[in-house]
Structure 1
Amino acid sequence: MDSALENISPVRILYDQIETLARDAIALLPNLIAALFILLITALVAYGLTRLVRGILKRSKRRPSLVSAVGTLVRLLVWAFGVMIALTVLFPNLTPTKLLAGLGIGSIAVGLAFKDVFENFLAGFLILLRKPMRIGDDIECNDLSGRVEQITIRDTFLRKRSGELLLVPNSFIYKNPVCVLTDTPLRRIKVVVGVAYGEDVDAAREVITDAVTALETVSDEKPVQVFATTFNSSSIDFDVRWWTTSTPLGEHRSRDEVVAAIKRALDDAGIEIPFPYRTLTFNEPLSLAQAGDAEE
Structure 2
Amino acid sequence: MNNSNLKMKDQFNTALGNLIDKLLGWFNAIIENIPNFILAVLVLIASYYAARHISRFVRKLVVKRVEQHSIANAISRVTTVIVVAFGLFIALGVLNLGKALTSLLAGAGVVGLAIGLALQGTLANTFAGLLLSFRKRIKIGDWVETTGFSGEVMDINLKDFTLKEADNNIVIIPNKTILDNPLKNYSLTTRMRIFLECGVGYESDLEEVEKLTRETIANTFDQVESAEDVEFYYTEFGDSSINYLCRFWIEADSILEKLKAKTRAIIEIKKAYDKAGVNIPFPIRTVQFDNKLNINNASSNQKS
Q: Please give the alpha-carbon distance, in whole angstroms, between the structure 2 residues aligned to 1:43 and 1:115.
A: 30
Task: Kindly state the Cα deviation for residue 68 of structure 1 after the two structures are TM-superposed.
Answer: 5.9
Q: Counterpart in 1 of 2:224?
A: 220
CA contact (8 A) 1:138 1:182 kept: yes
Q: Say yes or no: does 1:249 pair with 2:256.
A: yes
**SS of corresponding position for 1:130:** coil
Q: Please give the alpha-carbon distance, in whole angstroms, between the structure 2 residues aligned to 1:195 and 1:41.
A: 81
CA deviation digits over 1:186-210, x for unaligned, max 9? 2111110101122222211111111
Aligned alpha-carbon RMSD (Å): 3.5
138, 148, 152: which is aligned to 1:147? 152
Task: Kindly state the Cα deviation for residue 265 of structure 1 after the two structures are TM-superposed.
Answer: 1.0
1:1-296 correspondence to structure 2 within 5 Å: 41-56=46-61, 62-65=65-68, 69=71, 72-83=74-85, 85-86=87-88, 89=92, 92=97, 95-216=100-221, 219-220=223-224, 223-244=229-250, 245-280=252-287, 285=291, 287=293, 289=295, 293=299
The verdict on how the C-alpha distance between 1:154 and 1:43 changes in structure 2, with shifts beyond 3 A counting, is farther
Q: Counterpart in 1 of 2:4?
A: none
**SS of corresponding position for 2:279:** coil
**SS of corresponding position for 1:242:** strand
Task: Kindly state the Cα deviation for residue 256 of structure 1 after the two structures are TM-superposed.
Answer: 1.4
CA deviation digits over 1:115-164, x for unaligned, max 9? 11111122122222333322101111122222101212222221222223
CA deviation digits over 1:41-86, x for unaligned, max 9? 544323311222343456xx52323x86356324314314414654
Q: Please give the alpha-carbon distance, in whole angstroms, between the structure 2 residues aligned to 1:46 and 1:178.
A: 38
CA deviation digits over 1:3-27, x for unaligned, max 9? xxxxxxxxxxxxxxxxxxxxxxxx9
Unmatched runs of 5 consecutive residues or more in structure 2: 1-26
Q: Please give the alpha-carbon distance, in whole angstroms, between the structure 1 residues aligned to 2:197 and 2:242.
A: 10
The verdict on how the C-alpha distance between 1:83 and 1:201 changes in structure 2, with shifts beyond 3 A counting, is same
Task: Kindly state the Cα deviation for residue 285 of structure 1 after the two structures are TM-superposed.
Answer: 3.3
Q: Counterpart in 1 of 2:9?
A: none
**SS of corresponding position for 1:171:** helix
CA contact (8 A) 1:46 1:74 kept: no
Unmatched runs of 5 consecutive residues or more in structure 1: 1-26
Q: Between Structure 1 and Structure 2, which shows a larger proportion of helix residues?
A: 2
- The amino acid of 1:269's aligned partner reads A
- The amino acid of 1:186's aligned partner reads R
Greater CA drift, 37-46 or 196-205: 37-46
Using the size of structure 1 for normalisation, the TM-score is: 0.74
**SS of corresponding position for 1:278:** coil
- Matched length: 263
CA contact (8 A) 2:125 2:176 kept: yes
CA contact (8 A) 2:51 2:83 kept: no
Q: Please give the alpha-carbon distance, in whole angstroms, between the structure 2 residues aligned to 1:49 and 1:154.
A: 25
* Structure number with bigger Rg: 2
CA deviation digits over 1:246-265, x for unaligned, max 9? 32332222111100111111
Using the size of structure 2 for normalisation, the TM-score is: 0.73
Task: Kindly state the Cα deviation for residue 107 of structure 1 after the two structures are TM-superposed.
Answer: 1.9
